[in-house]
A and B are shown apart, each in its own frame.
Chain A
């Protein structure tokens, strides 16, 4: 397969400059791919698909009752991030996550940022994800967002923007590791002559971080990973990470809380647990503190957490900073807490509860992306240029009915990467989700999940909406 007829169109292409000249950092990869004999790349691609199925690397689709598991499509052509670009991303992420962590701590304590008028008090009080139960919490080391998966996108000019912060229970890192593994097994030659930074240190970094937040009394802390169970869409990842860290994978029903702390039920009786990497949302964590109808959580967990008998990662309450209206204020937070200009900019955001913004949004629905403030995964979203009149009317009504619940952003022309479509290459839009750990220090995994919208022209990269993924190469 050749790139000769590949068209970058009017978008920023990660591999080719406008006009079709290879970017310098991609030249080597292009040569390798073009040196393959006819049909070889497609054979590799089929090999990769088969391997994913055999390894049972699948995700569950909600609302799909039949054959519930699917593989997450993996495209062989990697996305390359040159060292200089990565260096700026890394610094930008460290700055942003530090500021967000300060913000969450502040919001559940003195609320200085509200008192100083940097963020309107209304915004926080109306945020559905603000958790009064978390006021006054003192998580170990003052860290709230231990694991973050920030979504970055590039617009037509190649500028990186932060699209979402994902401070609650971000998923996808297992695909980063497995994609690399599959590519190495299927197409090892593609790595020859290149210095691609390894990603496989993530599980040990994660374990180290989790152990670092153990309650003070624990000498050799016992870490567990709390999953909602095998029917959760990210179950593969829960099980994979537990296996890679060598920690136990537990469900809510495996744990019980006594006056002394949190324990798991084993064949030899109860055993103490010190740190819980929980992959369950706040709402379902503890029926005594949050939703009463949850079957997934552990009654009494929050009380044990507040008493310092167990640590949770991420800390409960982080969702307040994930709210899409609060998101609009992150650049201000960075200026407020860090005393510096943001290294990674936000996507310009219109807040529908502001009258002027709302008028603008309603008048320009056809060109904007409208998002609901509290949803994720590509749900509750209107992509203006791809919408119908009826959909726009529906959203206009919803916006009028509850303006606080909606924000709008310009439709970005997300950058593209060549992708194997049938028997040739076509450009497909991508985003990038790097993973950041925060314990004793902030660590950014050199790599990330590149999600790709496989449908022609689509800008929605979510796996639940026809998205796939690519290996992400950060060059040394």
Chain B
């Protein structure tokens, strides 16, 4: 053990969820923020597209029951501020902070102060005026990014840190997958219309939703749906691409177990390794012709299984019902 302290299962789980919730909050804030921006660019006769944003959460039914039709006001309320909805920005940050609080002696003081500041920010922003929303979502995103920066630069890159990385990258892969699944099929029909300015804007918004617009431009230039799918799914350098995220998750997991790359010692490692190869060796044309939706759906199922395996392999050592705030 050479002096390092063994990591408690409960602590590992709290770190994992802390990271997932911060990442989730950031993604939701970005999706909503980008959409607010997009709506300003669309002509007033275009239908306002708020339903797709709700669809990316996978919680559309819950929204429907609570709020009915998707309009800007209700969607923003649901996704940003609803304290009863567990995946709203507010609830995510609150849950991240609760988890952080239970591992406060493991993380650095700087991390704690950052997550605490985030919490104070979202708590004080309940009931914000519509005008203030764009800058609010921007602030939340920046504060989440800062949390990641502070985490990487103030915490020892030990086993506990690897669990944070694992949670963050798996959540990221999940969110990019969902966004692509929803948006691609809404925008696809308009492809045949020769590039109206609005198409360009909408596809750009998809990229902006993963902070990928500028990076895409540098690599591929003009926007084409095929290139966009390739970029978001199979890019191995862009941090929010699914392949990149999964390969980072795989690396974290191997750092935790100490098993050499390309081999496995537990179910989570095996499944994550298989998913990684699938993405490493996948090709966008084959994926598109076999059906993008089916492919993305498959990814979701596999990621859910990996999450269950991680729970069993690392967190379930403490037999009591899960105590992390999930």
Contacts and interface: CB of A to CB of B under 8 A. Distances in A.
Contacts of B116: 54-56
Nearest to A67: B123
B317 A269 contact: yes
Residue from the set A55, A230, A239, A250 with the largest chain B CB neighbour count within 10 Å:
A230
Given A240-B105, A266-B9, A267-B6, A251 B323 contact: yes
B10 A254 contact: yes
B113 A56 contact: yes
B188 interface: no
A430 B150 CA distance: 40
Interface in A237-254: 239-240, 242-243, 248-251, 253-254
A253 B10 contact: yes
B8 A264 contact: yes
Contact of A249 (B105, B314, B318): B105
A421 interface: no
B98 interface: yes
A268 B120 contact: no
Nearest to B100: A56
Contact of A248 (B5, B318, B320): B5
B9 A265 contact: yes
A250 B10 CA distance: 9
A235 interface: yes
A413 interface: no
Contacts of B6: 264, 266-268, 271
Contacts of A235: 101
Interface in B1-33: 5-10, 12
Contact of B105 (A56, A242, A253, A254): A242
Nearest to B320: A253
A229 interface: yes
Interface in A244-300: 248-251, 253-254, 264-269, 271
B148 to A, nearest CB: 19
A235 B105 CA distance: 11
A307 interface: no
Contacts of B12: 267
A248 to B, nearest CB: 6
Chain B interface, DSSP helix/strand/loop, else mixed: helix
Interface in B295-326: 314-315, 317-318, 320, 323
A401 to B, nearest CB: 41
Interface string B105-120: 1000100110011001
B174 interface: no
Contacts of A266: 6-9, 317
Contacts of A56: 101, 112-113, 116
Contacts of A229: 102, 323
Interface residues of B, number: 26
B317 A267 contact: yes
B309 to A, nearest CB: 14
B255 interface: no
Contact of B102 (A230, A243, A248): A230
Contact of A239 (B7, B8, B104, B315): B104
A266 B9 CA distance: 5
Contacts of A230: 98, 101-102
Nearest to B107: A243
Nearest to B9: A265
Contact of A267 (B7, B104, B112, B323): B7
Given A230-B98, A266-B8, A266-B9, A253 B104 contact: no
B256 interface: yes
B136 to A, nearest CB: 19
Nearest to B99: A230
Output the residue of B98, B104, B314, B323 with the most chain A CB within 10 A.
B104
A53 B104 contact: no
Contacts of B117: 54
B280 interface: no
Given A239-B105, A267-B7, A54 B318 contact: no
Nearest to A229: B102
Contacts of A253: 10, 318, 320, 323
B113 A54 contact: yes
A239 B14 CA distance: 14
B113 A248 contact: no
B105 A250 contact: no
A55 B113 contact: yes
Nearest to B10: A254
Interface string B154-168: 000001000000000
Contacts of B10: 251, 253-254, 265
A248 B112 contact: no
A108 B318 CA distance: 35
Contacts of A243: 104-105
B116 to A, nearest CB: 4
A265 B318 contact: yes
A121 B12 CA distance: 51
Interface in B169-184: none
A269 B7 CA distance: 9
A233 to B, nearest CB: 14
A55 B112 CA distance: 8
Nearest to A268: B6
A53 B117 CA distance: 9
Nearest to B12: A267
B257 to A, nearest CB: 9
22 contacts: A54-B116, A54-B120, A55-B113, A55-B116, A56-B112, A229-B102, A229-B323, A230-B98, A230-B101, A240-B105, A242-B105, A250-B8, A251-B10, A253-B320, A253-B323, A264-B8, A265-B8, A266-B8, A266-B9, A267-B8, A267-B159, A267-B314
Q: Which 6 A-B pairs have the closest CB atoms?
A: A243-B105, A266-B6, A242-B105, A56-B116, A239-B104, A253-B320
Interface of A: 53-56, 229-230, 235, 239-240, 242-243, 248-251, 253-254, 264-269, 271
Interface of B: 5-10, 12, 98, 101-102, 104-105, 109, 112-113, 116-117, 120, 159, 256, 314-315, 317-318, 320, 323
